Structure 1
Amino acid sequence: MITPQPPPQSNQMDSPSGLEQEVLGTWSLLEYSSEPFDGKGPTIHPMGPDARGILTYTSDGYMTVNVMPTVGNKIKQSIHDGVMYTGRYWIDKKQPDGRGAVMCHDVQMACPAELEGTVLKRQFMISEGRLRLSSLKYVDLEVWFRPSSLRTRVCL
């Protein structure tokens, strides 16, 4: 049996409104890429140019994400073979550097298991029906969209 765990009290979402409301639902991966910090060099696609994925945020503060390369290996050996995790999430708008809103994922179950027990932070923005997540420590970019067939809100 899984016992729900609340997000940290200092960042807890009271009632979803505005940006919190916009992020709710299911998103489909449009692009997953990584760029050099200095902007010099090619953009790479760690799981190939046609990686596929589903990301869901629920109104009760849970999220789940699955990202896989289009052509997968029968035996998963590295992070390049896919990433799946689930846990609590919250939006932290109070960043001292003024870089905007930050999405925090409290990873409770994951593959690869090394992600479990970590809090992954992503700068995020929603514009024109697209959700853009960027790593704060690396230059990784995930762009998600809501196709019309995935507009259903999921509430557990």
Structure 2
Amino acid sequence: MDLVGAWRLIEWRITRPDGRASHPFGRDAIGLLCYTSDGHMSVTIARAGRPPLPEADPRKASAEALAGAFTSFFCYSGRYEIRDGHVAHDIEAALNPAFAGTTQIREMNFDDDRLVLAAPEGGRWHTLIWRRA
């Protein structure tokens, strides 16, 4: 199956070594992952039903409101390449500035119309399941 195109999030699951699983933005998280034919990618994931900021201008919102918006949203973009059954995301811009300039490598598998990306992190296993949009 071809990676190029848009993919909608089905599930983001984190599994701990003892087998317990969690969903960082809930079981109903929403997201969009896009790969272009010229090697660019972007991903956005959000908790479903995020409340709007109380101020129309985010620069006027309280630190608490901004923190809530930040911790319920995840995004980055950059370039990608396929490497022996993995996809490498070379991140250029991200909501979390620490991600910029890093390379995130994900195992890549196709299951019917689904794209499964997975990677270890700190003893836990992140699995993201996407369906073509």
Does the alignment reach a TM-score above 0.5? Answer: yes
Distance 1:37 1:107 in 2: 28
SS at match of 1:87: strand
Task: Write the mapping of 1:5-154 to structure 2, written as runs, cut at 5 A.
Answer: 22-39=2-19, 41=20, 43-73=21-51, 74=53, 75-77=65-67, 80-93=71-84, 101-137=85-121, 138-146=124-132, 150=133
Residues 123 and 136, structure 1, Cα contact 8 Å, conserved in 2: no
CA 1:133–1:76 in 2, change beyond 3 Å: closer, same or farther?
farther
CA distance, structure 1, for counterparts of residue 66 and residue 91 of structure 2: 20
Deviation at 1:124? 1.0
Moved over 6 A (4+): none
The offset of 1:58, in angstroms, is 0.4
Give 3-state SS (helix, strand or coil) of 1:114's partner: helix
Gaps of 5+ in 2: 54-64
More displaced stretch, 73-82 vs 104-113: 73-82
Q: Supply the RMSD in Å over aligned alpha carbons.
A: 1.6
Spell out, residue by residue over 1:102-141, the C-alpha distance to the aligned partner (whole angstroms, 9 max, x if none): 1100010110222111101111101201000001334111
SS in 2 for 1:60: coil
TM-score (norm 1): 0.70
Q: CA deviation at 1:76?
A: 4.2
Q: Which has the higher strand share?
A: 2
TM-score relative to the length of structure 2? 0.81
State how far apart, in whole Å, the 2-side matches of 1:91 and 1:54 are. 19
* Percentage of pairs with the same residue: 31
Aligned residues: 118
